[in-house]
Amino acid sequence: MPYLVVFEAIAPVVEAFSYILLGLGFLLGWSIWNDVIVLVAATNLFGIVMNFTALVIDQLTFARYTSRSDLLKLMLGSVFEQIAYR
């Protein structure tokens, strides 16, 4: 349990540092636009697939959501989380 708390506390710092390095890389010419776009798209798609997989496993295991609209809202929320929230 303490490891989870530590890593969850460090994650925002690492993410903020990576954004700073990404901006610095663009300003100094260290980053290639095409590679960064592909990397960002791949990581966001991976996160969306992981969320969808968790929803499918949850639905197959517990069947909590009875209407399709609830599942669609959760799926749209997972897409929004990966693109806008993070």
Whole-number Å distance between alpha carbons of 38 and 27: 19
Give the number of residues written for the chain. 86
Q: How far apart are CA 66 and CA 84, in angstroms?
A: 27
**pLDDT grade for 55, boundaries at 50, 70 and 90:** very high
Does residue 43 contact residue 22 with C-beta atoms inside 8 Å?
no
Single pTM value for the model? 0.71
pLDDT band at 4 (very low <50, low <70, confident <90, very high): confident
Task: Name which of 21, 81, 24 is nearest 51 in CA terms.
Answer: 81
Q: Examine the pLDDT at 51 and tell me if it is beyond 70.
A: yes
